[in-house]
């Protein structure tokens, strides 16, 4: 039993000694980190940024309990306008911070980085977190109000831009519809002109056809008339003057030709002459002959 108690005592002493050694090691590392941070601050004040950056990094690697080193490195990046690197270091400092004061400073500076990048919504959240750790800080309160105002303005501009894009899209669609309607109307106009041209050509063709039919009909009538004339013509009187066939006037259907009329009148004159001669012959036979003149 005594041996067991002795063993437990030894184990306890060993554990205590080990824990004490770890604590001492952490304290030593923290002190080294703080010394490196101090040297980096000095070099940064002398505008030796590259050496200061190196010492800040060494200080961060030596101890995870030193929140000052990443915070000061973040500030150095912020002044160099390397905002992405600055944000990473401020975030690291906020996670390592053990006091509200340190957390407040880390989140306040994160809000400043977001403001530089015009990420106003994230800036509002960062300043809000900073105010949770120190509600009375006037600078943080002012930045918080400014971030909210800029966020509202940004959102209004975004809505306006979206509206303009929608309007431009609608205008393009309207213009597209107008162009399509115009092209359609022009196409219909061309088709109408083509139809009118076809109708005109068709009408001209029909007119030509009708004229051709009328000409054929007239030619046919002329031919028919000439045939009738040939049937109605009689041989001229042997005693009359015979004119060439091509100089005689062609009569109309069912009418006597000029030559026929002449022949008929001459025949009538000859008949009258014969009758007159007969009458004169009878008078000569019945009358007395006078040898003396009549008083």
Do residues 134 and 100 make contact, with C-beta atoms less than 8 angstroms apart? yes
Dump pLDDT digits (tens) for 237-254: 444 444 444 444 555 555
What is the pTM for the complete model shown? 0.53
Residue 34: both structure tokens together? 């703080």
> Using CB atoms within 10 A of its CB, is residue 48 exposed (0-12), middle (13-18) or buried (19+)?
middle
Convert the pLDDT of each residue in 99-152 to its tens digit: 999 999 999 999 999 999 999 999 999 999 999 999 999 999 999 999 999 999
pLDDT at 284 over 60: no
Q: Which residue has the higher pLDDT, 150 or 15?
A: 150
Contact 140, 162 (CB under 8 A): no
Torsion of CA 70, 112, 47, 66, to 10 degrees: -10
Residues 103 and 94 sit within 8 Å (Cβ to Cβ): yes
Mean pLDDT calculated for residue range 14-43:
86
């Amino acid at each position: 039993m005594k041996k067991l108690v002795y063993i437990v005592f030894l184990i306890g002493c060993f554990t205590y000694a080990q824990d004490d050694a770890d604590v001492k090691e952490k304290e030593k590392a923290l002190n080294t980190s703080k010394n490196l941070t101090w040297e980096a601050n000095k070099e940064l004040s002398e505008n030796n940024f590259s050496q200061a950056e190196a010492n800040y990094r060494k200080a961060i690697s030596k101890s995870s309990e030193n929140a000052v080193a990443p915070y000061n490195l973040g500030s150095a990046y912020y002044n160099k306008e390397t905002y992405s690197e600055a944000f990473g270091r401020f975030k690291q400092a906020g996670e390592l911070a053990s006091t509200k004061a340190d957390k407040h400073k880390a989140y306040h500076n994160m809000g400043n980085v977001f403001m530089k990048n015009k990420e106003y919504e994230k800036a509002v959240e960062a300043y809000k977190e900073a105010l949770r750790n120190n509600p009375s800080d006037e600078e943080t309160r002012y930045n918080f109000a400014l971030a909210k105002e800029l966020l509202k303005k940004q959102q209004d501009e975004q809505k306006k831009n979206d509206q303009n894009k929608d309007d431009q899209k609608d205008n393009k669609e309207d213009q597209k519809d107008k162009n399509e309607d115009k092209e359609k109307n022009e196409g219909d106009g061309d088709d109408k002109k083509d139809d009118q041209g076809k109708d005109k050509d068709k009408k001209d063709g029909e007119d030509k056809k009708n004229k051709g039919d009328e000409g054929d009909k007239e030619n046919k009538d002329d031919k028919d008339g000439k045939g009738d004339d040939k049937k109605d013509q009689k041989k001229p009187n042997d005693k009359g003057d015979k004119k060439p066939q091509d100089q005689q006037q062609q009569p109309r259907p069912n009418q006597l030709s000029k030559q026929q009329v002449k022949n008929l009148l001459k025949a009538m004159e000859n008949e009258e002459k014969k009758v007159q001669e007969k009458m004169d012959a009878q008078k000569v036979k019945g009358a007395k002959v006078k040898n003396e003149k009549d008083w």
